[in-house]
């Protein structure tokens, strides 16, 4: 069992690539650092995607998220960076990442980023 964070997103072959189906993953313990103060920011990440040939391995996803624990970044940048990494690893038909950051100074932030494969038709 790994006890270290990792920036590698492991994937496995989609067992039913002939069908459009949705995978929803909720990760309520995402943490990163505020780029201004260095204080921790907490968020729930909601990932929803329609795989093409590959699916995301969940243990690798947990270790990947752990790698952000000591990284600073604005919410918008981090959400888009994570989405870019997922698109590069999975090449999904469709993917949407919603990052719901906890309150900081009386303000909640939610960032939603998505990607559609240019050759995918949602029906």
SS3 breakdown of the chain: % helix, strand, coil, rounded to 5?
Answer: 20, 40, 40
> Which domain CATH number covers 110?
3.30.1130.10
Catalytic sites, residue numbers:
34, 41
- Residue 82's SS3 state is helix
CA gap 78, 71 in Å, rounded = 9
Number of domains making up the chain: 1
Per the structure, the complete domain to which residue 72 belongs is given by: 21-116
Is 2 inside any structural domain? no
Instruction: Identify the helix (H) or strand (E) that includes residue 112.
Output: strand 107-116
Is 33 inside any structural domain? yes
Q: What is the pLDDT of residues 22-54, one digit of tens each?
A: 999 999 999 999 999 999 999 999 999 999 999
- Residue 13, pLDDT above cutoff 90: yes
Is 69 inside any structural domain? yes
pTM: 0.94
Q: What is the pLDDT of residues 51-93, one digit of tens each?
A: 999 999 999 999 999 999 999 999 999 999 999 999 999 999 9
């Amino acid at each position: 069992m790994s006890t270290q964070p990792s920036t590698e997103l492991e994937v496995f072959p989609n067992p039913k690539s002939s069908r459009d189906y949705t995978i929803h993953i909720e990760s309520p313990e995402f943490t990163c650092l505020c780029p201004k103060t260095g204080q921790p920011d907490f968020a729930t990440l909601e990932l929803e995607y329609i795989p093409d040939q590959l699916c995301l391995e969940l243990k690798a996803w947990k270790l990947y998220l752990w790698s952000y624990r000591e990284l600073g970044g604005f919410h918008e940048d981090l959400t888009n960076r994570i989405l870019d990494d997922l698109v590069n690893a999975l090449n999904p038909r469709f993917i949407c990442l919603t990052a719901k950051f906890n309150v900081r100074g009386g303000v909640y932030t939610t960032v939603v980023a998505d990607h559609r494969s240019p050759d995918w038709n949602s029906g």
